[in-house]
Amino acid sequence: MFDTISMLVNAFGPSGRENRVAEVVTQMIKDKVDEISSDAMGNLIAVKKGSGKKIMLAAHMDEIGLIITTIDDKGFLRFGTVGGVLPLISLGQRVVFENGLTGVVWYEESIESMKDAKIDKMYIDIGAKTREQARELVEIGDMAVFEGRPVEQNGLIISKALDDRVGCAILAELARRCPATDNEIYYVFTTQEEVGLRGARTAAYAIRPDLAIAIDVTRTGDTPKSKPGAVSLGEGPAIKVKDNSVIAHPRIRERLVDCARENGIPFQFEVVDKGGTDAGSIHITAGGIPSGGVSIPTRFIHSASEIVDIKDVENAARLLEAFIKF
């Protein structure tokens, strides 16, 4: 599982630029599914044919990033955000562009307090001396992502972009296992989740599944003075009850609970008031699609160093395997 996750997190893929991730996924699963295609939004849709229910499993390929807005005459880049990027978490980070160029995020040192370290007081230094020199390397509209190579340590994985390449890894592993089922399984690797759950909406409309599950990360409440939260690292995948985008369909939630209990898989319940997942757009598409979620407890979401427990990841794959065979 770590190797699969590593290959996926290392692929460059901010929202709207997911094609490299899609290529990695395609190589991983193309021999194990009956059809694989991409749509106008860039969603990658792999199908394992069957005569039973149409089940859509969705994980998003895009990661958060920065987008160049202006380049000053000294060659420093000003930027906007792609998805939920917090200024304080960006400070001092290395970022990398699609062409491999590295930059460092820093701030205008005249600010009085770090509270004033807003994105518009920050810049990326790529070591260029002039605007012209910078423009040989980057252009307005180019995107960069955090650098943060994957590390396996004490049963945990630390990396950038675990949100949501860990979900992509679970779907890819599941597709490779070819679970024996009559159901028709749609492994959908979606785009532009971080900017508004966009890819999943068109994919679900086209597929019109009988039911859908989004696989994504969820924050934990187990770090010092963190906001209270029910989910902890290492205590099992979280079965979604509610987030800010969806109230899980009760029958899907119950079925996930039954699958976990019958197979001795530990689980937790996810009830959060912030953040959304692809289920948020899927469930209100095409006349309504019963939807739920399986979430991986994750520390430090939307940083260059997100942390998951590999047991939770493996148990999420087991839970989904049981679910699609049900």
Question: With respect to Zn ion, which residue has the nearer C-beta, 15 or 315?
Answer: 15
Residue 18 or 163 having the CB closest to Zn ion: 163
- Distance separating alpha carbons of residues 318 and 205, to the nearest angstrom: 27
Measure the N-to-C terminal CA separation of the chain; round to a whole number of Å: 24
The label of the residue with tokens 């939630």 reads: 253
**For the sheet containing 211-219, what is the strand order?**
35-38, 44-48, 184-190, 54-60, 211-219, 291-298, 238-242, 268-271
Q: Which of 62, 63, 164, 278 binds Zn ion (CB under 5 A)?
A: 164
Q: Per CB under 5 A, which region of 42-50, 128-136, 156-164, 281-289 contacts Zn ion?
A: 156-164
Select 163 or 243, whichever has its Cβ closest to Zn ion: 163
Q: Which is nearer to Zn ion, 163 or 184 (CB)?
A: 163
Name the one range near Zn ion by CB under 5 A: 127-135, 136-144, 208-216, 231-239. 208-216
Binding residues with Zn ion: total (CB under 5 A): 3
Of residues 209-248, which lie at the interface with Zn ion (CB under 5 A)?
216
CA dihedral sign of residues 275, 279, 282, 284: negative
- Residue 278 binding Zn ion, by CB under 5 A: no
Q: Which of residues 55-114 bind Zn ion (CB under 5 A)?
A: none
Residue nearest to Zn ion (CB): 164
**Pick from 266, 314, 294: which is nearest to 56 by CA?**
294
The nearest distance, CB 312 to Zn ion, in angstroms, is 15
The correct pick among 163, 184, 309, 312 for binding Zn ion (CB under 5 A) is: 163
Enzyme catalytic residues: 193
Residue (of 204, 326, 216) closest to 275 by Cα position: 216
Q: Is 151 helix (H, G, I), strand (E, B) or coil?
A: strand
CB closer to Zn ion, 216 vs 321:
216
CA dist 324 and 183 (Å) reads 7
| Alpha carbon distances (Å) from 12 to 135, 205, 227 | 21, 27, 31
Q: Binding segment for Zn ion among 29-37, 63-71, 155-163, 267-275 (CB under 5 A)?
A: 155-163
Please, what is the minimum distance in Å from the beta carbon of residue 16 to Zn ion? Answer: 15
Tell me the closest approach of the beta carbon of residue 124 to Zn ion, in angstroms.
24
Among 320, 231, 218, residue whose Cα is nearest residue 274? 218
Q: Nearest approach, Cβ of 126 to Zn ion (angstroms)?
A: 28
> What letters, b where the CB count within 10 A reaches 16 and e where it falls short, cover 29-59?
beebbeebebeebbbbbbbbeeeeebbbbbb
Q: How far is the CB of 234 from Zn ion (least distance, A)?
A: 20
> In the complex, which residues of this chain contact Zn ion (CB under 5 A)?
163-164, 216
